[in-house]
Amino acid sequence: MTSGQDVQATGVVICLAGDSGDGVQLAGRRLAQQGVAAGLGLGVAPDFPAEIRAPAGSLNGVSTIQIRFDAGEPLTAGDTADVLVALNPAALRANWRRLKPGGCLILDSGAFIEKNLALAGYDVDPVAQLETSAHDLVRVDMTALTLAAVEKYDLRRRSALRCRNFFAMGVVCWMYQLHTEATLAWLDRQFESHRELGEANRAALRAGMNYGETTELSARRVLPVASDGSAGPRRMVSGNEALSLGLVTAAELSGLDLFLASYPITPASDIVHLMCGWDEFGVRTFQAEDEMAAIGAAVGAAYAGALAVTTTSGPGFALMSEMLGMAVALELPMLVVDVQRAGPSTGMPTKPEQSDLNQALHGRSGEAPLPVLAASSASDCFWAVIEAARIALRHMTPVVLLSDAAIANSAESWRQPRLRDIRPINVRQAEAGSPFAPYARDEELARPWAVPGTPGLQHRIGSLEKEHVSGHISYDPGNHELMTRLRAQKLAAAARHIEDTVLFGSDHGDLLVVGWGSTFGAIRTAVARARRCGKQVSHLHLRHLNPLPPDLGRCLRGFRKVLVAEMNLGQLCARLRDEFLLDLQPYSKVQGGPFAVADIEAML
Amino acid sequence: MTNLAEPAGVATGARDKRDYRSDQQIRWCPGCGDYAILAQFHKMLAAVGANKEDHVIVSGIGCASRFPYYVDTYGLHGVHGRAPAIATGIKAVNPSLTVWVVTGDGDALSIGVGHLIHALRRNVDIKILLLNNAVYGLTKGQASPTSFPGQVTPSSPAGVVDRSLNPLRLALTAGATFVARCVDSHGRQMRDVLIAAAEHRGAALVEIWQNCPVFNDGAFVQPSRNYLHLRPGQPLTVGGDGERALTLDQGGRLRVQRTDDADPPLLRHDVGNAALAGLLADIEGDDLPVPVGIYYRCTRPVHSDALRPEPPLRGRRSAQELLDAGRIPRAG
Ligand code: SF4
């Protein structure tokens, strides 16, 4: 593993940690924005508590954001950090392991007081010990310096202390010589109605920079080389943002209105928060009374001719099972987005897991197959949801798209595409006067989409079994078997459109690592390093979990050993074993956090 | 079927009720009250001159929920209790459609009561026909939320112990903008109410007492009680002879008194008076009549308006603008 170090060393990783009330997420995202604006590639991984208000200063209340700047597009936010800023002892305790040997540790010494040390569970002040470590330790009394910097504004002590995040950001900006103009302007806009607060935050940011400058705080550090922008503009995008952009793009590509019905649930809610402001883009959102109503409204909207979507997470997805089964029977095109979190039940709402795969594949009564896809990174949510819409509309079927808390909240730099470069989505709604039977099928086994309001095509569909072609209620045994098989064959029809699998590495060898969803970055990075060390290892990442790519069996058979890495106890592994009768090995991690590159490397 | 005179205000040349029948064989038990309701529904469609393609009937599960199959409009037979949610989605996408929900007491008031309340409170422009037979028919006779205390069913052999749910009170509380009650055997009155519901813009709840001769025969037959036909602006007279009517006693309770007795003054029906509607909905016991007709009606903005008017597809802004924006615009 040792020679893997040089690969890991690309880019710069900065980690900000504090109490959840300290605003480190906000400051971190501003820092990231500035990097992207400066032409850097970006990986951002936040980690925040589920509790709205864990006790201030406690370990449970620690909020962390890790930002990686790179010359290219990094696949992860990095395993370890070059710089760690800890705004209190708990933040240090929760995150010191992230710091690289020789990395720079910046502490707010003003927050390392007895009370906070006790809250973090330190018996003795850890700073003395750190002084003798290999780290570059920088102690700054950010508490006092921030209070001094914002003194002239009429703020209460509490509000004044809330500016510490921007002081810390200022220090980091000085260290990496990052321009802060954009953030200063942003603060102006953001606090338009609270001018004092905006000014105070600006003052704190400047004070942080100046403090670095005047005290020559530590060695200045260098950022990776920024791109010259010739490849087009880049922006920062989170998984939930990319997913929302993908939905509105899919609606435009298909010429349909978008209807999004949802019930609030972490970590999916942000999608609705975004899209409810997009009515001018043909989007209508509906906050339903529960998840059953959310998917019910989506079914109604699909029936009425819109591109219908519902977004949720595991427990909400469970409530949708019944209606999703009906959508299979009705053969209506719609999307269910499950932003997975650690389960079972309420589990750990802000922590990622990939344990809803079985629920997506099988969680319905009866034989109710439907396509299941997964997004592999924040920006990939955009492409994955367009693909999901394409399948839904082509085959007249509900489609489940799996994201998870890791990619929903993480962010990346992204070169946004041009709409005209994306293949349009073909939609065929039945027209008045054409010969019509509700359950006749085309070559994709799709039934016609006859939208209410179309003269002459009145018909009734429902949750009871229907007769092939006519759609009339039918209890005929032969018809039921035919319909059951037809619903299964729709999946086979969808499989024909899946592109050939692209293996990373060679198509045969000692070891293949198979992954799906948000584990992409960690696996790809680890496999790339191992290959550079001369190992015979390849990576196969699955977007389509149902139906599986037709060439998948052949790909798997090219390797002596196949490892299926996933954040569950082997759900995809079991599915693949069942499908291909191969002796695949599961590699599981269920700790409410994504795989680190090192986790995968340890297995290669 | 008797050929009733068309009500006033309906355009001549309205279509024939037979135009609205589907080709499906009806599968309710002989004598079921649903037949009479379906017949009035067909007549209502003819009376309002409905375009078949602009109507959608959504249902859940239960005997009543077979309704969409028997009407030649668009129809969606859903899952148990969730028809109001499905209807909300249809209406949100295409507000120009006329959407009916046909449901029963189990469907609407037990498994689906959460959705019913919210559709009413949002004033979704849908018309909900609640066919109340005070029993589960399709699953063979269990007690429902509107079953009467003491009612013996396979699931309550010693008699129902729970209080029954009052759908009209529920609808008023939830914020329905049209609340009415009909009886399956009163065809003419039912049709008038259905026409009024069809013409109402907003969430309408029409409870229809529907006899289930198989599992709960005669549940609503109350020989000791009269019907009170609610007519806007008219005194609340009880029975056919016009000699008695409702009034309020000094405690604010409804009671029956002779019409020639001028003190206290007789009440007149005011469909815009929610307090009066509440009193009428709360009527129970043998001393008072059964009000039938429109209890309450008002106008409020409907849900699809609140969801913002439909952006014209051609005029709408392109997703490219969102992709190119330096910052993704957020609401608020
Ligand atoms: S069970 Fe009762 S309600 Fe159902 S169809 Fe038969 S008679 Fe009608």
B153 within some domain: yes
Residue B232: CA count within 13 A, CB half-sphere = 10
Contact: A293, B85; criterion CB under 8 Å: yes
Give dist(CA B105, CA B63) in Å, integer. 10
**Can you read off the two tokens belonging to residue A431?**
């027209």
Does ligand 1 lie within 6 Å of residue B141's CB atom? no
For A326, which of B79, B308, B328 is closest by C-beta distance? B79
Tens digit of each residue's pLDDT (9 = 90 or more) over B69-116 = 999 999 999 999 999 999 999 999 999 999 999 999 999 999 999 999
Domain assignment of residue A295, given as a range? 244-421
Q: Is residue B331 part of a domain?
A: no
Contact between residue A328 and residue A356 where contact means Cβ atoms under 8 Å apart: no
pLDDT, tens digit, 9 for 90 and up, residues A572-591: 999 999 999 999 999 999 99
CA of A487 to the centre of ligand 1 (A): 33
Confidence (pLDDT) at B4:
38
Q: Catalogue the E-assigned strands of A128-177.
A: 136-140
- In angstroms, the separation between the Cα of residue A329 and the nearest Cα of chain B is 10
Which atom, in ligand 1's list, is nearest to the CA of B131? 3
CATH of the domain at A210: 3.40.920.10
Residue A70 lies in a domain: yes
What is the pLDDT averaged over residues A201-221?
A: 89
The DSSP H or E segment spanning A86 is strand A81-86
Report how many domains make up chain A. Answer: 3
Predicted confidence at residue B332, as pLDDT, reads 46
- Nearest-CA residue for ligand 1 atom 1 is B137
Question: Quick one: tokens of A505?
Answer: 């590495």
pLDDT value at B9 more than 60: no
Name the residue with tokens 């010739």.
Answer: A230
* Residue B239 CA: distances (Å) to CA of A472, B182, B293: 46, 16, 14
User: Cα B89 to the chain's mean position, in Å?
Assistant: 19
Helices (H), chain B: 33-47, 83-93, 105-106, 113-121, 167-174, 187-199, 274-281, 303-306, 319-324
Same domain, A330 and A260: yes
A222/B311: higher pLDDT: A222
- For chain B, say whether A436 makes contact (Cβ under 8 Å): no
Name every chain A residue with its beta carbon within 8 A of the beta carbon of B117. Answer: 289
Q: In whole angstroms, what is the distance from residue B144 CA to residue B63 CA?
A: 13
A490, part of any domain: no
Among B73, B90, B308, beta carbon nearest to A303: B90
Q: Which two tokens stand for residue A61?
A: 């209340």
Are A107 and A192 in a shared domain? yes
Query: Looking at residue A55, what is its pLDDT?
Result: 85
Q: Are residues A208 and A291 in the same domain?
A: no
Q: Are A562 and A581 in contact (CB under 8 A)?
A: no
Per the CB < 8 A criterion, the answer to whether A3 and A76 are in contact is: no
State whether A71 and A171 are in the same domain: yes
| CA dist., res. A575 & res. A549, Å (int) | 13
Beta carbons of B66 and B104 less than 8 angstroms apart = no
Closest in A292, A330, A472 to B82, CB measured = A292
Identify the pLDDT of residue A65: 97
Ligand 1 center–CA B104 separation, angstroms: 11
Report pLDDT for B308.
61
Q: What CATH number did the domain enclosing B58 receive? A: 3.40.50.970
The mean pLDDT value of chain B amounts to 90
Nearest to A371 by CA among A330, A334, A399: A399
Write the DSSP symbol of residue A452.
T
DSSP-assigned states of every residue in A365-396: SSS----EEE--STTHHHHHHHHHHHHHHHHT
Residues 469-488 of A with CB under 8 A from B: 472-473
Host H or E run for residue B217:
none
**Are B179 and B293 a contacting pair, CB within 8 Å?**
no
Residue A217: pLDDT band (50, 70, 90) is confident
Q: What 3-state class would DSSP assign to A542?
A: strand
pTM beyond 0.80: the answer is yes
Q: At what angle do helices A164-176 and A142-149 cross, to 10 degrees?
A: 100
Checking if the pLDDT of A465 tops 80, the result is: yes
Q: Are residues A267 and A187 in the same domain?
A: no
Report the pLDDT averaged over residues A304-317. Answer: 98
CATH code, domain carrying A392: 3.40.50.970
Which residue, of A382, A403, A421, is where some domain finishes? A421
pLDDT digits (tens, 9 = 90+) for B126-151: 999 999 999 999 999 999 999 999 99
pLDDT tens digits for A541-560?
999 999 999 999 999 999 99
Tens digits of residue pLDDT in B158-167: 999 999 999 9
pLDDT band at B282 (very low <50, low <70, confident <90, very high): very high
> What is the widest separation between alpha-carbon atoms in chain A?
85
List, in order, residues 6 or more apart from A459 with CB less than 8 Å away.
A436, A438, A450, A471, B74, B75
How would residue B11 be classed by pLDDT, with cut points 50, 70 and 90? very low
Length of chain B counted residue by residue: 332
Residue A224 lies in a domain: no
- Tell me, yes or no, whether B27 lies in a domain: yes
Q: Chain A 210-239, CB below 8 Å of chain B: which residues? A: 233, 235, 237
Greater model confidence, A226 or B270: B270
Q: Is the pLDDT confidence value at B14 over 90? A: no
Closest approach atom of ligand 1 to CA B63:
4
Q: For A121-135, A285-299, A546-560, which range has the lowest pLDDT when averaged over its residues? A: A121-135
Q: Are residues A350 and A260 in the same domain?
A: yes
Confidence of residue B17 (pLDDT cuts 50, 70, 90): very high
Q: Does A247 touch chain B (CB under 8 A)?
A: no
Facing A453 at nearest CB: one of B61, B76, B97: B97
In a domain, B76, yes or no: yes
CATH no. for residue A567? 3.40.50.920
Q: Is the pLDDT of residue A286 over 50?
A: yes
Q: Three-state SS for B67?
A: helix
- Decide: residue A84, CB within 10 A, 0-12 exposed, 13-18 middle, 19+ buried: buried
Q: Could you tell me which residues are beta bridge partners of residue A17?
A: A64, A86
Domain check: are A334 and A401 in the same one?
A: yes
| For chain B, the helix, strand and coil percentages under 3-state DSSP, each to the nearest 5 | 30, 20, 50
In a domain, A441, yes or no: no
Does A335 share its domain with A210? no
Q: Is residue B315 part of a domain?
A: no
Tell whether ligand 1 has an atom less than 6 A from the beta carbon of residue B131: no
pLDDT bucket at A127, cuts 50 / 70 / 90: confident
Contact residues, chain B, for A475 at CB < 8 Å: none
A321 vs B: CB within 8 A: no
- Say yes or no: A118 and A175 in one domain: yes
The mean pLDDT of B186-191, rounded to a whole number, is: 96
Q: Is A540 inside any structural domain? A: yes
- How many A/B residue pairs have CB atoms within 8 Å? 194
- Percent of chain B exceeding pLDDT 70 equals 91
- Answer whether B28 contacts ligand 1 (Cβ < 6 A): yes
In a domain, B145, yes or no: yes
Beta bridge partners of A279: none
A284, A208: one domain = no
Domain that holds residue B147: 17-221+302-306
Does residue B7's CB lie within 6 angstroms of at least one atom of ligand 1? no
- Asked if residue A325 and residue A258 are part of one domain, the reply reads yes
Q: In chain B, how many domains are there?
A: 1
pLDDT digits (tens, 9 = 90+) for A368-425: 999 999 999 999 999 999 999 999 999 999 999 999 999 999 999 999 999 999 999 9
State chain A's mean pLDDT as an integer.
93
